Chains A and B, each alone.
Chain A
Amino acid sequence: MNHGKALKKSEKKFLKDIALSLKEYQLIVSLLERTPSKLELGLFGALWSEHCGYKHTKSLIKTLPTKSRNVLIEAGKENAGAVNIGDGYSIVMKIESHNHPSAVEPKQGAATGVGGIVRDIMAMGAYPIALLNSLRFGPIDKKINQYLLSGVVEGISSYGNCLGIPNIGGEIEFEECYTDNPLVNAMCVGILKDADPVKAIAQNPGDLLLLVGSKTGRDGIHGASGLASQSLNSDSELRTAVQIANPFLEKKLLEACFEACRLEGVVGMQDLGAAGLTSAAIEVAHKSNLGLSLDVAKVPVRETGMTGYEIMLSESQERMILIVKKEYNQNLNKLFSKWDLESKVIGTFIEDKKVEIYENNNLLSSTPIEYLVEAPSYKIVSEKPKWLSKLQNEKLSNPNIKNIPAKSILKSLLNTSNISSKEYVFQQYDHQVQTNTIIPPGEADASVIQIKGTSKGIALSTDCDSKKCYLDPYIGAMMAVAESCRNISCVGATPLAITDGLNLGNPEKKDVQFQLSETILGLKDACNKLEIPVISGNASLYNESNNYSIYPTPIIGSVGLIDDFKNCVSSSFKEENDLIIAIGNDIFGNNPNYLAGSEFQKYIERQLSGKPLLDIDFEIKLQKLTRKLINSGLVNSAHDCSSGGLAVAISECCALGNIGAEIDMPIDSWEIPLFGENKSTIIFSANPKKLKKIMNICDMNSIPCENIGIVKSNKLIINKILEINLKEINESWSSGFKNL
C-alpha cells in the first residue's frame, strides 16, 4: 500500500476488515516512515481495535476509582483485578463481553466467552470458583430470540459445566433494542491462597515465550477488529470469525497452568483472547519494558499453509502463554505431557523495544513496540441529545390503567420474562460443583459461596437496569452500582469491589458518546459514594445494527464478604406470623417518577419516559443498616424492591417461601406505591419479638421503617386492593419460560 492518498478498492476493503480508518492508516505510515506490510497492518488493526486499544473509552475509564485498602491488583494492570479477603486468601475477578460472536453463533459465541474469561482468571494463578453472567435479548415471544436465548444458555452451560466451575448467578433482560444485538457478559471469580497473583510479565531479556494448549488454526481471524469493533449489519459473512469451543482442552489447561505457575522458572502467565498472539505477546513485552522476537514457524498449527499474518491474528481458543526462564524446570514439560498438552517455545524477550516477527530465518516485520500499543485516543463529546431531554421532561401523571385490576397487573408483571423466575436457566448450569454453594442462584438477591476452612462467605451479584440507563445514563449507571451493592448487602455481606462490563452502541456517534460519558460519570460518582473500587472491566462498543443502538448497558458484577456465612439470609418468607417490615426513604411514595423506566410503565404505556430517581447518599445508610440487621440476627429474610416494585418484591418473597402474606399499608392510590420502582426500599421478615429492636436501630440511624404486614396462610392480600392465591402467584412467576 502507499501513503494513503490513492488507495485501491481492495486496500480500502482490507482497512475496513481490520477496522482501521484512513486517518489511522496515515498515522501508521508517518510513525513508521514507510508503508506497512499486510502483517504489520494486521498487528496495528488488532492492537488499535476498540477491543484492545480502548480508543473511545481510555480517557474516561481512567477516572474511575480503583483503590481501596483491600485492593491488590487494580483495574487495567493485569488480566483481572484482585482483592484481599483476609486469612491469606484473595479474590480475583473480571467480567467480559462476547456479544458479537453470540449474535452470530449463539452457542459457540457464548461458550468461548466463558472460556475467555476463565483464562483471564487462570492467568492470575487463581483457581476459578464461580461464574456469573448477564444476558440481554430481544422480546422472548419471537422465535429468533428464543433461539438466541436457548443457544446462549446451552453454550454457557456446556462450557462451564465441563470445567467444573459453578455458575452461581446472573440476570437477564429482554428489550426490543437487543433484538439484533444480544449481550452476553460472563464473569469469573477465582481464589488464591497464600500466594501473590501471577503477573503477565517477563523479567529479563532472554526470558522465553512458551505457548501451550490448542494448536493454532484459521478460526477467529479479525475477531477483535471485525466483530468487536464495528457495527453488525450482515452477520452471516462473519460466521467464520467465531471460534469453536473445546472445554475439555480448557479443563486440562486449567489444571496444568494452576500447577505450572507454581514451578520454579515460571515468571509470568498470559491468556490468548481477542487478537490472539498479537495482543497477548506484544502486551506482555510492552508491560515488561522489553521487546520481543517471535518465530511464527514455531507455532504449532492445525492447518497447512498458514501465513504469518494468520498465525499472529488467529483467535483459536484454549491457548495460554507462559513466560519462563531460559533454564526453566523440565518438570514443566512433564506436567504438560501428563495432561497431554502441547507446549512450544515460540519466542524470546529482547532488550531492544521492538517486535520482530520471523518465519524461520526470514524477518517478516520489525516494528517499535510503542507505536503498536499506543492506540490513538479519541475525544468524546458529551452533549445531551434533544430526544432524551424531551423524554425525561415528559410529565408522568397518574397512569391510565384502563380499569385493569391490580391483581391482573401483578400477575402479568410476574409472568413477564424480565421478572419471571429464571429457574429454566439456572437449572441448566451446574451451580453446586466444588461444594461451596451456600445460597444458590435465584434464592436471594445475591448468591453466596463458602471459603472452605474458614467461616467466611463470598457474595456475588451482577446487575443493570437498562431501561433506567436509557432514560438517564448517569442515574442508570449509579443505579447499577447501587443495586449490585444493595444485593450484596441483602444477604448480609459487605461489598468489596466491582467489575464493570460496559455495553454501548457506536462511539463514533454523538448520542452514544453522550451515553458513554454519562455512564462512566455515573459509575465514578456511585463508586466514590459507596466507597467501592472498580478492579477490572471490559468495554464492548458498536452494539448497533441498521442504525439501531442498544440501551446503554453498564453491567456491574460485585463481590462482597461476610465473616460468618451462617448469618446470611435469603429472600423467602420463612415463618408464619413473622412480621413484614419495609425500610426505605419513601416507602409508600407516590412520586410518578418512580414509574420512569419501570416494568409497569413498559406494560401499561408500552413506552418509556420520565426521569428515574436515586438518592445515593441514602443508599449508603440503607445498605449499612441492612447489613447490620442481618448480621445481628434480627431478620429472617431480606429482599430489595427492584423490577416491578413493592408488590412484585413481596410476591417473590411469598413464592420462594411458599407462604402467603397480609399487607396493610397507609396508601390512597395504589399504582405508584405498588408498582413504582423506588429501589431504595428493602423488605424484611422478622419474628414479632424483634420488632422493637429493629425499629430502634432504624430510628437511631434515621432510616424510616414500617411494619407493613404479616406472613400468613396461602394468599397474598394487600389492603383491599388485591387478593391472590399463592398458587396463582407461583403459576404466573414460574411460567415465563414455559415454552422453551
Chain B
Amino acid sequence: MKFGIIVFPGTWSDKDCKYAVSDNLGQKSKYIWHKETDLSGIDSIIIPGGFSFGDHLRVGALAQVSPIMNSIREYVKKGFPVIGICNGFQILCEAGILPGALIRNKNLQFKCKWTNLQVSNNNTIFSSEINSKKILKIPISHGEGNFQVDSKTLDDIENSGKVVFRYCDSNGTIDTESNPNGSINNIAGIMNKQGNVLGMMPHPERACNGNIGSNDGNLIFQSMINYVIK
C-alpha cells in the first residue's frame, strides 16, 4: 500500500515516518508538500510531527489553512484512514476534523520521554493488531500535548469508544503519576466520529525498531496496513 506523508514548512517527523512505514514495514510512501492538493493513489495519510510554521500564532493554526487541508477534508469524508501524530494531531484539532484542543503541558515544560499506553479500544482501524492487554511503549516529545475538551464532547468520545490510547504506568494503571502532560482522562489518542481519523501525541514512528528502544509503534501502522490491504 502507499502512505502519503504531508510536509509543511517546519515538519520534522516526515523522514522518521518514512523510516517506520517504508524502511521497517516495507510499504510505499510519498512526501506531499502542503501546497499540493492531489491525493490520488494514496491509500492512507500520515500528518507527521514537528513545528509546522514554527508554531507561530498557535500550534497547528497556520497549517490548517494550507491548500492540502481541503483535500484532506475530502479524503476523510471518503473514509480513507488518516493518522495525525503530535503536531499532526494538533493540526487536525485546529482544522476541526478532531474534537478538542492541545494546550501547554501542565508543568509548562517541553517533555521528551518514553510513555506507556493502554489501548482503550482495540477494535479500530489503528489498533486492531494490538492485544487488549498489551501496554505499548511509545515516546512523547511535545510542549503542548495536554488534551482538553468540553464535558459533553468528552462524554461522547468516551461512550462511543473514540478514545484509543491512554497514558498509564508499566502495569497499566491510569493515574496522575502516569499522565505526562495533564491530558483529561489521561487521553493520548482519539478518533473522529467515523473512526477513520486518529490523532495521537505519542510518536509511534519513534518506536519502530527495537534498536531505538521499542517496536510497539509498528502495531499501529500494521493495523492501518491490514485495514487497507483487506
Residues on A lying within 8 angstroms of B by beta carbon are 154, 157-158, 161-164, 246-249, 251-252, 338-340, 426-438, 440, 450, 452, 565-566
Residues of B within 8 A of A157 (CB): 110
Complex Cα–Cα for A85 and B14 (A): 26
Cα(A246)–Cα(B9), bound, Å: 14
- Of B65-73, B122-130, B185-193, B202-210, which stretch is located at the interface? B202-210
B228 within 8 A of A: no
Q: Which residue of A lies closest to B17 (CB)?
A: A435
Interface of chain B, main secondary structure: mixed
Name the contact of A438 in the complex, choosing from B15, B110, B141, B211 (C-beta under 8 A). Answer: B211
Within the complex, the shortest CB–CB distance from A452 to chain B, in Å, comes to: 7
Query: What is the bound-complex CA distance between A565 and B211, given in angstroms?
Result: 9
* A164 in contact with B9 (CB, 8 Å): no
B56 within 8 A of partner (CB):
yes
Given known A248-B9, A339-B9, contact A162–B54 (CB-CB < 8 A): yes
Cα A432 to Cα B202 with chains together (Å): 12
Residue of A433, A440, A566 with most partner-chain B CB within 10 A: A433
Bound-state Cα–Cα, A248 to B206, Å = 22
Instruction: Tell yes or no: B160 within 8 A of A by CB.
Output: no
Tell me how far the C-beta of B103 lies from the nearest C-beta in chain A, rounded to whole angstroms. 17
Contact A428 B51 (CB under 8 A): no
**A432:B139 contact, CB within 8 angstroms:** yes
Chain A hits for B110, CB < 8 A:
157-158, 161, 427-430
CB–CB A435/B54 < 8 A: no
Could you tell me if A452 and B19 are in contact, using CB atoms closer than 8 angstroms?
yes
Could you list 17 A-B pairs, sorted by A, with CB under 8 Å? A161-B143, A162-B10, A162-B55, A164-B50, A246-B54, A247-B51, A248-B10, A248-B56, A251-B9, A251-B10, A338-B33, A340-B9, A433-B16, A435-B19, A435-B212, A437-B212, A450-B211
How long is the Cα–Cα vector from A319 to B209 in the complex, in angstroms? Answer: 37
Given contacts A163-B12, A251-B54, A434-B16, contact A429 B112 (CB under 8 A): yes
* Candidates A154, A435, A565; contact of B16 at CB < 8 Å: A435
In the assembled complex, B75 has its CB within 8 A of some CB on chain A: no
**Are B212 and A433 within 8 A (Cβ)?**
no
Partner-A contacts on B (CB < 8 A): 9-10, 12-13, 15-16, 19-20, 23, 33, 50-51, 53-56, 109-113, 139, 141, 143, 203, 205-206, 208-209, 211-213
Chain A nearest Cβ from B167, distance in angstroms = 15
Closest chain B CB from A331 CB (angstroms): 16
- Whether the Cβ atoms of A430 and B141 lie closer than 8 Å is yes
Nearest CB in chain B to that of A164: its residue? B12
Complex: how many Å from CA A267 to CA B201?
42
Give bound CA distance, A162 to B11, whole Å.
9
- In the complex, what's the smallest C-beta–C-beta distance from B18 to chain A, in angstroms? 10
Query: Which residue of B9, B20, B33, B111 contacts A435 across the interface (Cβ within 8 Å)?
Result: B20
Complex partner residue of A433 from B12, B55, B209, CB under 8 angstroms: B12
Chain A residues within an 8 Å CB radius of B51: 161-162, 247-248, 251
Q: In the complex, which residues of chain B have a beta carbon less than 8 angstroms from the beta carbon of A154? A: 109
Flag if A427 contacts B111 (CB, 8 Å).
yes
Residues of B within 8 A of A246 (CB): 54
Taking CB atoms, residues of chain A closer than 8 Å to B12 are: 163-164, 251, 433
Residue of B nearest to A248 (CB): B54
A157 to B142, CA, bound (A): 11
Cα(A437)–Cα(B109), bound, Å: 22
A450 with B56, Cβ < 8 A, contacts A164-B50, A430-B112, A432-B203 known = no
CB <8 Å contact, B9 and A252:
yes
Residue of A nearest to B11 (CB): A164
Contact B9 A436 (CB under 8 A): no
